[in-house]
Each structure stands twice: as structure tokens, then as C-alpha cells.
Amino acid sequence: PRVLEAVRASASAGATASRLLGGNHPDVLELEEALASFKRAEAALVFSSGYAAAIGTIPALVGKGDYVVLDKLCHASLVDGARLSGAVIRVFPHNDLARCGELLARCADRGGKLLLLTEAVFSMDGDLAPLDRLAALAREHGAWFMVDEAHATGVLGARGGGGAELFGVEDAVDVSLGTLSKALGSAGGFIAGSAALRDLLVNRARSFLFSTGLPPAACRAARAALRILEEDPSPRRRLMDLLARMSARLGRELATPIVPLLVGDERRCQEMAETLLARGGWTPAVRYPTVPRGKARLRISLSAAHTDADLDWLEREVFFRSPRNFDAGRILA
């Protein structure tokens, strides 16, 4: 209700132009200040989406003659941003720290700027990146460290600050990428970091320069949601409690509220999703090109809005009704 009230109070539905032409609405400046404070950063810059934030930021930081090292399972927005930059791209196997270190060392020896990219929570697998060890590798090899916190902000850490807070490396992350459309329930994306980084992006991030600013109504909604997140930890605690109970029911510890169930065949995965929807639950099928062929999966995403009855439904309809199809051993997280 507080978020909806904030939207209704907004007098502006759209921003009408890019911020460089139309100026900065007070609502977007207030949101950026709040985001910077929440992320323990000097400054923040809001984009029209998380995708726009990624494809604008990475090419602003690196280019031809530079290097980007990234995890194989990084989100498409990070991959696309790296490709657009023109930098040399090197990919390491998922969470393979030894290979990551080797690639960083080789790239550092060749000169040029060096950027290390990872997600905090991998959106299709639900597992965590070892941010503390990756931060140490970035520091060792003189690389900028950029972390996509889209599925971690508002969920992980004592304050909900995200994966960097959980691992105690907030000061070691040079570029924090976030979205306003997940835990904050609005629209848009943002980058948090140093004041110098913000100034650079305002002048060099093409997805910021040549895009209409975020609507003030969306800014107000995100600001209201952020205020709730800061003032009331009970929804986050509720979510962690649900996650713990689901872990207990499955007999294995789940790292995050994203729980993927590997099916494999794409058609069968879609049929399962449709069957479960008919039984009263939304468990979306994730297929190629979002995941590789033969790796189709159902993705369960817990939220604080779920109830004990919802967990009972999962246990009854998903895990027990078709044990061959929904074996707990096929959970990827």
C-alpha cells in the first residue's frame, strides 16, 4: 500500500526526454541518493533497466585493448555489455577460482585495463559467487570488480544490502549493478560506486545518454519500497525462514530463494509448467536460449509473500506427485 500511495502521489507519468536534455527530476535524484546510502557507496546512477545499466557501464569502463574476465554463467546483459565494449573477453568455468586467477594474471601481463565480472546470485542456478575470494583476485591483479546484485539486493545480508554485504566486501566492489524490478518491485536499474564512476557514466554510458529518464512514478515506487526495506526487516526474515524450512523438507541446504529443478527436455519442461499452473501454482519453464539446450528447468522463486500453505503445495504437487520428474537430487542450487 505504501508503494502504491507513492505512485499515486506522483504528478508525472513520464520523464519526456533524456536527463541531459530534460534535466533531473527531484524524484530521481532523491532515489539515487537513497540507493547510494543503502549500498554504502558514494553515488548511484539510475538507468531505464538493469540491462541498460550493464550495456552502458561496461563499454564506458573498458574498450579496445582492454580485457574483461567473466564467469561462464553471467547474465546476458553482462555478456552483451562486454561484447559492445570491444575489449578482449575471457570466460572462466562457473565459479572456478583457479581458472579465473589464471586468466586475470595473463590479461594483467598484457597491459590495458582489466575488468572482472560476476553475478552475486546466479539467476538460473540460484547459487552464490564466492565474492570474497573473487574480490581478492581482482585486487591481486589490479582489476576493477563489478558485481551484478540483481537477485541479491533486498534479500542477502543483514540489511538486505546484497551479496557484497553478505561476504563483507562492500568496499572491494568497484561497480555494483542493481535492478529496481526485483525486491523493490518497481522498474529500472542502477549502478552504485564512487562519485567519479557516476560522473564517468553520465558522460560516457550511451544507454544513459540516449535514453529517456526513468519515470518519476517508478522512482517514487522504488524509493518507497527501499524505505520499507530499510525500516522493516520482517519480510526478509520471513523469506529466510521459508528458505530454511524448504531446505529442511528437501534435506539439503539451499543458498538462495531461487530453486531450479532440472528437467532437460524443453517440451517436457513446458508441459510440466502448464500442468502445475493448472494445479494452482506458477513455476515458469526456463528454456533455450535463456539456458543451454538440454538444460531446461523449472524455476521456483520463493518470496516473503509465500505462505506455509504454498510450501505444502510445492511439496505435494512438485516434489511428491511426480517423483521421477521432480527428484530433489535434480535441484541445481
The dihedral through the CA atoms of 116, 192, 286, 245 has a sign that is positive
Using an 8 Å Cβ cutoff, are 260 and 332 in contact?
Answer: yes
**Catalytic residue (one of 48, 49, 85, 123):** 123
Using an 8 Å Cβ cutoff, are 145 and 174 in contact?
Answer: yes
**Catalytic residue (one of 75, 151, 295, 306):** 151
Beta strand pairing status for 67-71 and 88-92?
A: parallel
Phi, psi of 93 (to 5 degrees): -55, 150
**Catalytic residue (one of 182, 186, 207, 306):** 182
Instruction: List Cβ neighbours of 314 (8 Å cut-off, separation of 6 or more).
Output: 246, 281, 300
**Distance from C-alpha of 175 to C-alpha of 197, rounded to nearest angstrom:** 8
Active site residue 123: yes
71, exposed or middle or buried, with CB in 10 Å at 0-12, 13-18, 19+? buried
Can you read off the three cell numbers belonging to residue 203?
558522460
18, exposed or middle or buried, with CB in 10 Å at 0-12, 13-18, 19+? middle
Catalytic residues, by residue number, are: 123, 151, 182
